[in-house]
Amino acid sequence: MVVLTTANDVSSEAIGWTLLLRLPLKRENANEFAKAIVGLGFMFDLDQTHTLRITKVYPKSSAGQAGLSSGLIIEKINAVPTAGKSLAECFSLLRANGSPKVRVELVNQERQETNTVELTRGKFLTSG
């Protein structure tokens, strides 16, 4: 394979890996390797108010299929409030019971809604 480009942010290795996985070429595949991983399918972080928020959702994951989106507040993990907890403590809560299923209570501030969703750990691709 030959990749001709003048862009500095394109990785021929990432493009080659994307093609080997038979994924469609998209802009995000130009510099980030697609990976098959096992998880719930979302990333999270504490915002400036120390509120636990979803920062990224992988579309073909359990979280993506459940309709989760960036910006949602994670109020509880398996009925345990996240308020006042560190990232490490919240990560531990997501893995605490050893079960592939996790219940998260989510708050959508824009819609003023609270929903509880059960997610199942599974294999998914990080892009594609």
**Choices 3.40.1280.10, 2.10.60.10, 2.30.42.10, 3.40.50.10210: CATH for 38-125:** 2.30.42.10
Q: Has residue 73 got a pLDDT over 60?
A: yes
pLDDT tens for 7-42 read 556 666 666 666 666 666 666 555 555 677 788 999
Q: Does 30 or 57 have the greater pLDDT score?
A: 57
What span, in angstroms and rounded, lies between the C-alpha atoms of 85 and 119?
A: 21
Residue with tokens 């892009």: 127
Q: How confident is the model at residue 61 (pLDDT cuts 50, 70, 90)?
A: very high
What span, in angstroms and rounded, lies between the C-alpha atoms of 94 and 77?
A: 7
Q: Does 6 or 94 have the greater pLDDT score?
A: 94
What span, in angstroms and rounded, lies between the C-alpha atoms of 101 and 71?
A: 22
pTM, entire model = 0.73
What span, in angstroms and rounded, lies between the C-alpha atoms of 89 and 52?
A: 11
Find the mean pLDDT for residues 31-54.
Answer: 84
End-to-end CA distance of the chain: 19
In the chain, where does the domain assigned CATH 2.30.42.10 lie? Answer: 38-125
